[in-house]
């Protein structure tokens, strides 16, 4: 019986410690999320083209027999092979943009799900905190009633076993 009470008390103390550290935990989570978003924004930043870059004309595009620059020149019109726009990898097709938008939408939905999950966790912890506070108040009232009962028993013990000492008469 005492082991179960000790285990229950240990669980209550752990829950109380978690509740005390809840604001610190949430702030740390927010800091990590902001750092991750900052890194993600830096990674998604548009690439700055390097204008002096040249590629070998022998590089083939999609297994064809024409060099990439020549294929891009035919597709885009009269582009010089020395300009960066002549290279196929510097152009982003509309399909890739749509995929990026879909991925962004999926990430937003996943983040919304995470936010809802965290709100549920906070709500359950808040309910648990309220229950713990209620139990603490019940323990305090029980302690107070035990103390008052103890004091009354002490008074009864004094009256019963130690009657008031009457001074002995000095008429011996």
**Choice between 103 and 55, residue whose per-residue pLDDT is larger:** 103
Please tell me whether residues 98 and 84 are part of one structural domain.
no
Give the residue numbers spanning the domain of 10: 1-45
CA distance 115 to 113: 5
Domain count, the chain: 3
Asked if residue 115 and residue 64 are part of one domain, the reply reads: no
* Residues 5 and 29 occupy one common structural domain: yes
User: Is there a domain that residue 28 lies in?
Assistant: yes
Is residue 145 domain-shared with residue 99, that is, in the same domain? yes
Whether 36 and 51 map to the same domain: the answer is no
Nearest CA to 33 out of 124, 107, 127 is that of 107
Is the pLDDT score of 60 beyond 70? no
Question: How far, in Å, CA of 45 to CA of 110, rounded?
Answer: 22
Distance (Å, whole) CA 113 – CA 2:
42
Q: What is the pLDDT of residues 88-128, one digit of tens each?
A: 554 455 667 778 888 888 888 888 888 899 999 999 999 99
Give the C-alpha separation, 84 to 39, whole Å: 27
Q: Is the pLDDT of residue 9 over 80?
A: yes
* DSSP string across 133-162: HHHHHHHHHHHHHHHHHHHHHHHHHHHHHS
Distance of CA 159 to the CA centre of its chain: 62
Q: What is the mean pLDDT of the chain?
A: 76
User: Would residue 62 be called left, alpha or beta, if left means φ above 0 and alpha means ψ between -120 and 50 degrees?
Assistant: left
pLDDT tens by residue, 34-54: 888 888 877 776 666 666 656
pLDDT at residue 66 tops 70: no
């Amino acid at each position: 019986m005492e082991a179960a009470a000790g285990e229950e008390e240990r669980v209550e103390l752990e829950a109380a410690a978690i509740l005390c550290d809840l604001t610190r935990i949430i702030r740390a989570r927010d800091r990590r999320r902001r750092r991750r978003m900052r890194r993600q924004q830096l990674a998604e930043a548009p690439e700055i083209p390097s204008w002096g870059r040249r590629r070998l004309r022998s590089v083939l595009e999609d297994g064809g027999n024409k060099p990439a620059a020549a294929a891009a020149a035919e597709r885009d019109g009269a582009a010089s092979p020395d300009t960066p726009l002549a290279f196929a990898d510097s152009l982003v097709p509309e399909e890739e943009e749509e995929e990026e938008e879909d991925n962004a939408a999926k990430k937003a939905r996943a983040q919304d799900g995470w936010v809802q999950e965290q709100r549920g966790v906070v709500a359950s912890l808040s309910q648990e905190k309220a229950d713990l506070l209620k139990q603490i108040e019940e323990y305090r009232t029980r302690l107070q009633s035990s103390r008052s009962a103890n004091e009354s028993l002490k008074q009864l013990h004094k009256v019963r076993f130690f009657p008031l000492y009457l001074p002995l008469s000095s008429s011996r």
